[in-house]
């Protein structure tokens, strides 16, 4: 799997194709896929930064174990929270701005304490490394969708 930085570079390469749609693959455009992916990256890193590592508690979670082990997210099964849902109109400048924040956030995330955590509605509490792994799997999931939308 690519590093998150490599995935962001690939997302950036797809910005010129942001208006493309293929309803046989997805109900939403390339722009939506990019925007959503970047909102997830930035949102999770911000939650990690704001979390109190002293309050970390993790319970066993079969879904988290399977997801992080298999490095796979099935299509059409999850419903994203409203805070990571793109707006109706997504501009190129919005995407570039979010992308810039994502690169900055990735750099700053390396300084976040190991027990910083993020609560996922299905996978439970994820510490910094698990959250980073989740972000990579989630981003790859949307990159695959974009690649399929753009297939000739």
- Any idea which residue has 């910005």 for tokens? 15
Q: Is the pTM of this model over 0.85?
A: yes
* pLDDT reported for residue 9: 98
Could you tell me the two tokens for 152?
A: 């000739």
User: pLDDT tens digit string along 129-144?
Assistant: 999 999 999 999 999 9
Does residue 40 have a pLDDT over 90? yes
CATH 3.50.50 fits 4-150, yes or no: no
Does residue 81 have a pLDDT over 80? no
Does residue 112 have a pLDDT over 90? yes
124 pLDDT tier (thresholds 50, 70, 90): very high
Helix or strand (DSSP H, E) at 127: strand 124-127
- Tell me how far CA of residue 82 lies from CA of 34, 36, 41, 87, 122, in angstroms: 16, 10, 15, 10, 15
* pLDDT reported for residue 144: 98
- Angle formed at CA 29 by CA 20 and CA 1, multiple of 5 degrees: 95
CA-CA distance, 10 to 24, in Å (whole number)?
22
Which positions ≥6 away from 34 have C-beta within 8 Å? 11, 14, 15, 18, 90, 95, 142, 146
- Any idea which residue has 């190991």 for tokens? 114
CA-CA distance, 37 to 135, in Å (whole number)?
9
**CB contact at 8 A, 11 and 143:** yes
């Amino acid at each position: 799997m690519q590093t998150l930085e490599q995935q962001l570079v690939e997302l950036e390469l797809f910005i010129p194709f942001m208006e493309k749609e293929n309803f046989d693959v997805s109900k939403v455009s390339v722009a939506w896929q990019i925007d959503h992916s970047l909102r997830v990256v930035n949102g999770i890193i911000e939650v990690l930064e704001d979390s109190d590592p002293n309050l970390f508690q993790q319970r066993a979670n079969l879904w988290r174990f399977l997801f992080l082990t298999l490095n796979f997210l099935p299509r059409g099964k999850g419903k994203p929270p409203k805070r990571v849902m793109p707006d109706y109109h997504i501009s190129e400048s919005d995407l570039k701005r979010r992308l810039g924040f994502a690169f900055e956030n990735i750099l700053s995330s390396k300084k976040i304490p190991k027990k910083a955590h993020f609560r996922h509605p299905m996978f439970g509490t994820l510490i910094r490394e698990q959250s980073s792994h989740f972000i990579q799997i989630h981003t790859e999931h949307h990159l695959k969708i974009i690649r399929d939308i753009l297939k000739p």
